[in-house]
Amino acid sequence: MGPLVEYRDLALTIGDVPILRGVSFDVAAGEAVGLVGESGSGKSMTLRALARLLPDNASTTGEALFDGTDALALSRGRLRSHRRGLGMVFQDPRAAINPMHPVESFLVERARDTGSDLGAARTSAVTMLRRMGIHDPERRMAQYPFELSGGLLQRVMIASVLMERPRLLLADEPTTALDVTTQSDVLALAGDLRREAGTAMLLVTHDLDLAGAVCDRIVVMYGGQVLETASATDIASRPVHPYTRGLLASRPPLTRRLDTIPVVPGTPVSASATGPGCPFASRCPVAVERCATELPEERLIAGSRVRCHRAEEVVAGVLDAELPLREEEVR
């Protein structure tokens, strides 16, 4: 059996502007994969390609396969049923819930559409809301979305999606707008439900620590490309790509005040602003001449799939003096 999700050399342009440049990685059944990177790196577009939720003027090459079916090659009619197999959660739940109807109507919508037992759907909704940490589910279901806080509404959203036991959950910054205590709650509860149902997850986030905590594997994106893919533990304890090292090092540590936080100079670049070589070349502290002209192949080095001409040297530790290092101890 192949992977549940497979991106094969996905390239995407909007108008004439390149957004993704050859994205390849996969997600196994039941696996949680974190798509991490800074603003504009192409995380959301990558995730959305799998449901073909792309701008009208987007064009693509390559494939975005779910369960062996390329979302980008489907007819409109088949796209609907394709999307139904995916659970989707975005940053702003209010954009996805009809404000004119009570929460209950949203939760039993699928049952109504498919003509299944509404009473059973209601019971299962109550159970799911409770498991998402909502203590008074009956009262909440009678309320309208505007009566619920963002945190409560996101719990409702996640409950409604996981209720269907989808094989894949697509989650784009689902907790970014929430307070940290709520975020911790929601991640823990949704994680339990997801694992029980064997639902795989593709999680988009800019927070590498958060991704490491809830995902099995991490995909690091920059300028519309994947620069490193490795297990969450490897990314945290021995990142290979210079950009991954920079990302980890620039996160302000909780335990100790630093004289200076090690930084990656400059600002993130979009896919359209990168040259023919390594997209990170303009900011990389260990770039060499060929980096600007020659795109590094993706190679498997020390357990990481990584695109860097100097990956062996990083692994050997000979570049440590020049690369930012995270200060905080890793358990």
Ligand X SMILES: Nc1ncnc2c1ncn2[C@@H]1O[C@H](COP(=O)(O)OP(=O)(O)OP(=O)(O)O)[C@@H](O)[C@H]1O
Q: Please, what is the minimum distance in Å from the beta carbon of residue 292 to ligand SF4? A: 8
Residue list 239-298, contact with ligand SF4 (CB under 6 A): 242, 278, 280-281, 284, 286-287, 291, 296
Query: Which residue of 92, 109, 207, 216 would you call a contact of other proteins, by CB under 8 A?
Result: 207
Other Cβ atoms closer than 10 A to 111: 19
The Cα 104–Cα 123 span in angstroms is 11
Q: Please, what is the minimum distance in Å from the beta carbon of residue 281 to ligand SF4? A: 4
Q: Please, what is the minimum distance in Å from the beta carbon of residue 180 to ligand X? A: 11
Per-residue exposure over 140-175, b if at least 16 CB sit within 10 Å of its own CB, e if not = bbeeebeebeebbbbbbbbbbbbbbebbbbbbbbbb
Establish if 44 lies at the interface with Mg ion (CB under 5 A). Answer: yes
Q: Please, what is the minimum distance in Å from the beta carbon of residue 325 to ligand SF4? A: 16
The entry of Mg ion, ligand X, ligand SF4, none near residue 281 (CB within 5 to 8 angstroms by kind) is ligand SF4
Establish if 179 lies at the interface with other proteins (CB under 8 A). Answer: yes
Query: Which residue of 25, 32, 36, 43 would you call a contact of ligand X, by CB under 6 A?
Result: 43
The Cα 317–Cα 323 span in angstroms is 10
Establish if 328 lies at the interface with other proteins (CB under 8 A). Answer: yes
Q: Which residue is nearest to ligand X (CB)?
A: 44
Dump the DSSP string for 295-316. PPPPEEETTEEE--TTHHHHHH
Establish if 82 lies at the interface with ligand X (CB under 6 A). Answer: no
The Cα 67–Cα 50 span in angstroms is 11
- As a three-state string, the secondary structure of 207-230 is CHHHHHHHCCEEEEEECCEEEEEE
Segment interacting with Mg ion, rule: CB under 5 A, options 42-50, 160-168, 275-283, 318-326:
42-50
CB 314 within 8 A of CB 323: yes
**Segments of 173-296 assigned E as strands:** 200-205, 217-222, 225-231
Q: Which is nearer to ligand X, 56 or 297 (CB)?
A: 56
The Cα 194–Cα 255 span in angstroms is 32
Q: Please, what is the minimum distance in Å from the beta carbon of residue 54 to ligand X? A: 8
The two tokens of residue 138 are: 């009956």
Query: Which residue of 34, 37, 145, 166 would you call a contact of ligand X, by CB under 6 A?
Result: 37
Establish if 331 lies at the interface with other proteins (CB under 8 A). Answer: yes
Three-state SS at 241: coil
Binding mask 214-243 for ligand SF4 (x = CB under 6 A): ----------------------------x-
Residues found near ligand SF4 in the complex (CB under 6 A): 242, 278, 280-281, 284, 286-287, 291, 296, 308-310
